[in-house]
Chains A and B, each alone.
Chain A
Amino acid sequence: MSELIEVTVNVNSEEYRRSVEPRMLLSDFIRHELSLSGTHVGCEQGVCGACTIQLDGAAVRSCLMFAVQADGHQIRTVEDLGTMDELHTLQEAFWEAHGLQCGFCTPGFLMSILPVLEENPEVSEETIQRAMEGNLCRCTGYQHIRDAVKQAAEKMVAGGEA
């Protein structure tokens, strides 16, 4: 076994320090070392987007990074959005519009789309489309996800969020 390297990351505004093997994937680190299992893994090939998180505010695929590369960075996962009783506007919209079925891909979609809406909720259909294109969903056919994003964007514009 190779030697362990110490990693310090800030995840969802909390500081975590762990010693990990240099080859440990960031997705495994988040899911199994930090027990934040809302981030899912669908391919480990960088294609499906289920593992998307935010690294310093930008959407990235955690299966394509090693945990050690995240050392000193800020991470945000789906657990940082709303709670079951108080959902985030985007989560709420997914609920209203039936933007999820099995829900496996959902955290990835939320984390891919959110930075786009947070930057500017006045999005065109094209922007929405582009924000979604890197994530695969086998259940929904995407239509209700598109509806959800539109709904969320409208609410965020109206609520002056962002």
Chain B
Amino acid sequence: MARLIGKPLKRNEDPRLLTGQALFVDDVELPGMLHAAFLRSDYAHARLKGIDVSAALEREGVVAVYTAEDMGDDWAPGPPLVIPPPTIEEVTFNTRTQVPLVKEKVRHAGEPLAVVIAESRYIAEDALDDIVVDLEPLPAVVDIERALDADAALVHDDLESNLAAHLVQTKGGYQSAREQADLIIKRRIVMDRGIAGAMENRGIVAYWDNKQQYLTVWDTTQSPIPIRNGLAGMFGLSEHQVRVIAPFVGGGFGPKIMMFYPEEVVLTWATLKLALPIKWIEDRRENFYATTQERGQVHEVEMALTEDGRILGLKDDFIHDSGAYDPYGLTIPLNTQCHVLGPYDIPNFSSELHVVFTNKTLTTPVRGAGRPHGVFVVERLLDIAARELGIDPSEIRRRNYLPNDVFPYDNVIIDQAFANFIIDSGDYLPAMEKALDMIGYKDFIENEQPRLRAEGRRVGIGVVSFIETTGVGPYEGARVTIESSGDVSVATGVGTQGQGHFTSFAQVVAEHLGVKVSDVHMVTGDTAQFHWGTGTFASRGAVVAANAMNAASSIVRKKILELASELLDAPEDELEIEDGEVRVADVPRMSISLGELAQKANPLRGAVEPGTEPGLEATAYFGPNYGATAFGTHAMIVEVDPETMNVEIRRYVVVEDCGTVLNPLILDGQVHGGVAHGIGNAFYEQLFFDDNGQLLNASFADYLIPTSAEVPTIEVGHTVTPSPLNPLGSKGAGEAGAIPVPALMAQAIENAIGEAGFEILESPMSPLKLFNLYYGDKEQ
């Protein structure tokens, strides 16, 4: 077999994207298409006392205006996406899911109150001004540490408090570990909110064709199949009457998985009523309110260590901000709990979690999904411990890594899939050593840093490790077909948001079938083509879907060989598939092209023998027992300008181990993008809410996504520890770049400042916050 897996091939999908020919949702134009605009609440918390749409209806060009009342019995809160874990005892979980249009009470600024459907978006937006809404403002719940106060307003009136969930997870016994400890580090650590910031906002085109009794929905979703199944269920349609297409999607990063967004439900409901195509495209300001966000947590945490820096135990009690609703269950905070354990041998662990409702946009996974928080917590504590014990930061990590003979390693606590958190494989030391080597750690510490310090320059180095649980179940599938032209067509349920699936999946298929990667035509994210699966999230494409590709194409390969053996009259083991044809190994003359074989497999005369199937086609599925855990080390060198507290990143090194690499070019791209996102999370991107729950920086002018000026060159290295859980040995990589950056940047900045007592305990930082932290301390 030609080795295609692992080659840095350029991508099949690019020519379309480069020439402006790729279809994104906003490019869909249908005859008679109407446009929707949503009226959204300016208040974060308010009672809806009345809404008068009559003036809007009179405006020329307005077709319909709907409120919650108009939806009648079809109005219902969204289904919970993830049900609460049954396997943890004494878990409290209050499910309150988002509503399509506000009926009684607004729970976050930007929640939709009404929808206008008009001949153009401009008219629809004009008509929003005609709607008269009577909202009675209520005190808002904003600060997560005060959400459970006795006098806090209630986000959900039917609950006794703003508690969304409560649970305790333990491993070993923390208390006794604490008693044996030589050193206890205790800190309060905060991570605040940001947006996902995909360049494409969300959008939907929904069309109910009444004559065909068929619903088509183009949606910027990461999960087209569950959307189809859900919409069919909600509106009493057969799943075969609903087609959901996620065409090219301009970046996902998590929030495009949310099911269901109010707009998805409302647009579908409206087209079923009007039987005309309706388009809604989110604008950027809406995106800041209506698309889910992530990262609000406050940790009270304690680490118990021996004097030689070994971790005896860790106790992490934290509050997680769910926002106004909690359709996503405990996914994010469970990820946090798992990743606090990191690649380390932490025998005793205890973590009490409170999830709270607030009057803010809901939180659902955003690139990293709770993992950066966990990594930030454990890495910060290790840094502080290292300083107190006089141990080098790289050394304290080395002393605490899980040794490589313990895998699969059961961490006892449960993970986001509600199964035991098992790390499938790992070999942490080589990754760290490679990173230290690449960045020249020793030389920097011994020579360069002292030299630059002597010149008065504040330069610092950081090194942190992380793990990333990836590739979770349940399953994905793929159908692989040899066409009569000899090209291969492949369909799978996962959608694509830039991860290069058209190419990396094609490499897997082409490797089995002896064709060119460019001759493999991939259809992703169209439920009419493939309708089993879940979606693109949790860095699972390269693991779950790729292994389904692998399984389906090996079956097709078998079929090819069987048929060719019959036709060429040669035993199968003497056949080889190369350049789109099957040849008898030693007799190159004796060959048959794949196209011809496909035609032969689909006879026009005669009968298909019982027990056989026509065509060279196979569908296969892959579902891992549990997730594969990637890992790695990041290192960086920064220089801090002591006057402005501006931070310049001078070097950035990533060593990542995500098992078998399908396409290193694509992988490097994923890592670069992740790091850039992580730099934003660490230093630039923070959503500011005032006491009334008003977002104060709802634009790209005020919310700073890193530009090319802020993102340095990223040097990427790899180690390869294949996952034993899947035949390809792959692990996911989509989020790994982002996860350790806040922790790393904090360490490097502290190292650059180099003064005892200067500690960074929150993320994101910013030059201003650093300035206050540094000079504020000085004054005291």
Q: Which residues of A contact B (CB under 8 A)?
A: 1, 21, 23-24, 31-32, 35-48, 50, 77-79, 81-85, 87, 91, 94-96, 98, 100-107, 110, 129, 132-146
Contact = CB atoms under 8 A, between A and B. Distances in A.
A140 B701 contact: no
B123 A98 contact: no
A138 B199 contact: yes
Give the 4 A-B CB pairs with smallest separation, nearest first: A38-B20, A104-B250, A102-B498, A103-B17
A139 B673 contact: yes
Given A45-B700, A101-B500, A103-B17, A144 B672 contact: yes
B284 A44 contact: yes
Contacts of B11: 95, 98
Interface in B475-527: 497-500
Contacts of B701: 45-47
Contacts of B677: 138, 141
A137 B669 CA distance: 12
A35 to B, nearest CB: 7
B595 interface: no
Given A1-B60, A136-B707, 11 more contacts: A38-B19, A43-B700, A45-B284, A82-B19, A87-B15, A87-B18, A95-B14, A102-B251, A104-B199, A138-B251, A141-B737
A103 B498 contact: yes
Contacts of B674: 141
A135 B709 CA distance: 11
Given A83-B19, A102-B251, A143-B713, A1 B61 contact: yes
Contacts of A95: 10-11, 14-15, 18
A37 B26 contact: yes
B48 interface: no
Contacts of B670: 101
Interface string B686-704: 0000000000000111000
A104 B17 CA distance: 8
Contacts of B461: none
5 contacts: A42-B250, A85-B15, A91-B18, A101-B500, A138-B251
B248 interface: yes
B24 A104 contact: yes
B29 interface: yes
Nearest to B672: A141
B223 interface: no
A142 B221 CA distance: 25
Question: Which of A46, A95, A141 is the most central at the interface, judged by chain B CB atoms within 10 Å of its CB?
Answer: A141
Interface string B321-365: 000000000000000000000000000000000000000000000
Contact of A98 (B29, B285, B497, B669): B669
A29 B497 CA distance: 26
Contact of A84 (B21, B122, B671, B705): B21
State the main secondary structure of chain A at its contact with B: loop
B135 interface: no
State the main secondary structure of chain B at its contact with A: loop
A145 B15 contact: no
A1 B62 CA distance: 12
A36 to B, nearest CB: 7
B711 interface: yes
A19 to B, nearest CB: 14
B709 A84 contact: no
A81 B61 CA distance: 37
B575 interface: no
B666 interface: yes
Given A42-B284, A44-B284, A139-B669, A36 B700 contact: no
Contact of A91 (B19, B666, B705): B19
A39 B309 CA distance: 56
Contacts of A91: 15, 18-19
A102 B497 contact: yes
Contact of A40 (B21, B24, B705): B24
B471 to A, nearest CB: 19
A146 to B, nearest CB: 7
A29 to B, nearest CB: 12
B284 A101 contact: no
B234 interface: no
Contact of A102 (B250, B672, B705): B250
B17 A100 contact: yes
A100 B20 contact: no
A13 to B, nearest CB: 16
Contacts of A41: 26
Given A110-B18, A133-B707, A141-B675, A31 B251 contact: no
Contacts of B21: 38, 84
Nearest to A80: B20
Interface string B1-22: 0000000001101111111111
B98 to A, nearest CB: 24
Given A48-B199, A94-B14, A31 B19 contact: no
B197 interface: yes
Nearest to A132: B708
B282 to A, nearest CB: 11
B201 interface: yes
A35 B27 CA distance: 8
Contacts of A103: 13-14, 17-18, 22, 248, 250, 498
B174 interface: no
A35 B13 CA distance: 21
B710 to A, nearest CB: 9
B711 A143 contact: yes
Interface in B180-217: 197-201
B29 A32 contact: yes
B665 interface: yes
A8 to B, nearest CB: 21
Given A24-B122, A102-B200, A102-B248, A78 B708 contact: no
Question: Which of A23, A43, A110, A134 is the most central at the interface, judged by chain B CB atoms within 10 Å of its CB?
Answer: A43
Contact of A96 (B10, B24, B198, B705): B10
B68 to A, nearest CB: 28
B30 to A, nearest CB: 12
A158 to B, nearest CB: 20
Contacts of B250: 40, 42, 102-105
A79 B711 contact: no
